Chains A and B, each alone.
Chain A
Amino acid sequence: MGLYHVGVVVLPDWVAHLLLGGCIARFSNVRRGYTLLLLGAVLPDFSKLSLVFRFFFDGETLLTVMNLFCVIHTFFGVVLLSLLIAPLFAAPKRFSLTMLLVGGFSHLLLDSLLNPFGGDYWFLWPLAKPYLRTGFFWADSPLPALIIGFFAFFVCLGPGLWRRVTGWGKGRF
């Protein structure tokens, strides 16, 4: 059992994560400090930094090191890391923390759509259950970035067009 039933790495897709973070910021009407939300949206993927250690370790030792880093790719890891780095920013802590958490959770939500064969993401590690199980996209699929990019085009680049087409978000932009 494990967080990733799929193996060593789930590929990062920062484009999709950043676009989703940008959309959330736009819809939340956050004009200043929205990059904190973007930071939160890519923060869990900092666990991929463990790949640097493949030049120094291999086998079980490398897996142990990677497991160590993977802690920040879990729900509790996101919460704890956000609490730790929020004071680095000279902004109200409530604001910094909220932005980082919303971004981090958006990352986990988007990642929960991935996985081969509907496998398991144990985001709630060290709690055993419940885990998220969807498996809509493969990790190397460009579809999440394309779908969110299409949505982001209307939300961020063409808000007037978005309003005219859907009638949503009036007064938000």
Chain B
Amino acid sequence: MPLEKYYPLLWLSALIGLIILCVLAATTSPILETLNLEGFEGKERTLGFITVLEGGDGRYLVGRMFTGEKVWVCCVGCDKPLVVGEVVSVHGVVRGGELLVDRVHTHQHPWTSYYLSTFGLIAFLTLFFREWRISRRGFVPRWGGGVA
């Protein structure tokens, strides 16, 4: 089997490839964005899963749950007013260093998926260890090794 024969080489290439991607991601931080609006003047921007921290009368300070970043957005005339304490996703155009929001989505239950995923995790682990057991050779199939 060519795949079995050349797998060590393939594995090493995959390891090097993943390391390169990780270095690229760590140095350029391209995947997750900061809330920084600089450089987006006149462009559309979506800020997702942000918490409304304070404000009123159309101007709100919003922040990210984990990183502690904060930014002011302007919500005059948007389809739904922002409410302090809610988790929202907003979309708009950056004008004068501020995001002029035109669309708002309020996440009513932002953590529900995490809670439900716990059940998914338990179900997955149950099924997985019904099929595989851990040994010194790695994960060994309980059914003997034949596939399909």
Q: Number of contacts between A and B (CB, 8 Å)?
A: 220
Q: A3-B31, A139-B49 are in contact. List 17 more A-B contacts (CB 8 A).
A: A1-B30, A3-B30, A6-B49, A6-B89, A8-B65, A8-B67, A10-B48, A13-B120, A17-B120, A31-B148, A32-B131, A32-B148, A58-B67, A71-B22, A71-B31, A126-B30, A142-B112
Contacts of B147 in A (CB 8 A): 30, 32-33, 91-92, 95
Whether B128 and A35, one on each chain, are in contact in the complex, defined by CB atoms closer than 8 angstroms, is yes
CA of A11 to CA of B146, assembled, Å: 36
Question: Can you name 10 A-B residue pairings with CB atoms under 8 Å?
Answer: A1-B33, A7-B49, A8-B67, A67-B25, A83-B10, A87-B11, A91-B145, A94-B4, A138-B105, A140-B109
A4 proximal to B (CB < 8 A)? yes
In the A-B complex, the 3 residue pairs with the smallest Cβ-Cβ separation, listed nearest first, are A6-B48, A14-B120, A7-B48
CA of A70 to CA of B66, assembled, Å: 15
Choose among B89, B105, B107, B127 the residue with the greatest number of A CB atoms under 10 Å from its CB.
B89
How many interface residues does chain A have, given as a range? Answer: 35 or more
Q: How far is the CB of A61 from chain B (nearest CB, A)?
A: 9
B18 proximal to A (CB < 8 A)? yes
A119 proximal to B (CB < 8 A)? yes
A132 proximal to B (CB < 8 A)? no
CA of A64 to CA of B33, assembled, Å: 10
